[in-house]
């Protein structure tokens, strides 16, 4: 492969996807929405599982810095 071909091939791989790619954006938006729902459900499950005392304990013993 000649140097000019390698440069062109490398440039083609480095080119970002077009921002107006509706199919790509749609899939990304769907994944983001699903992730947000999953995160919310996890937060709610944790909140329900912890008693008030457990929450206070975790707040008081939160890891700081490089502990």
Distance CA 51, CA 33 (A): 29
**Which pLDDT score, from 0 to 100, does residue 46 have?**
86
Distance CA 18, CA 16 (A): 6
The H or E element containing residue 34 is: helix 22-49
- How does pLDDT run across 9-63, given as a tens digit for each residue? 666 666 555 555 565 678 999 999 999 999 999 998 888 887 677 777 778 887 7
Residue 7 vs residue 43, higher pLDDT = 43
At 50, phi and psi to the nearest 5?
-90, 135
What DSSP state is assigned to residue 20? T
Give residue limits of the domains in the chain. Answer: 30-67
Average pLDDT value for the chain: 76
Look up the pTM and report it: 0.41
């Amino acid at each position: 492969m000649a140097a000019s071909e390698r440069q062109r091939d490398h440039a083609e791989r480095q080119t970002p996807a077009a921002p107006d790619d509706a199919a790509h954006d749609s899939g990304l938006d769907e994944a983001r929405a699903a992730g947000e729902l999953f995160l919310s459900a996890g937060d709610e499950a944790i909140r329900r599982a912890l008693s008030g005392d457990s929450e206070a304990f975790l707040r008081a013993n939160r890891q700081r810095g490089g502990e």
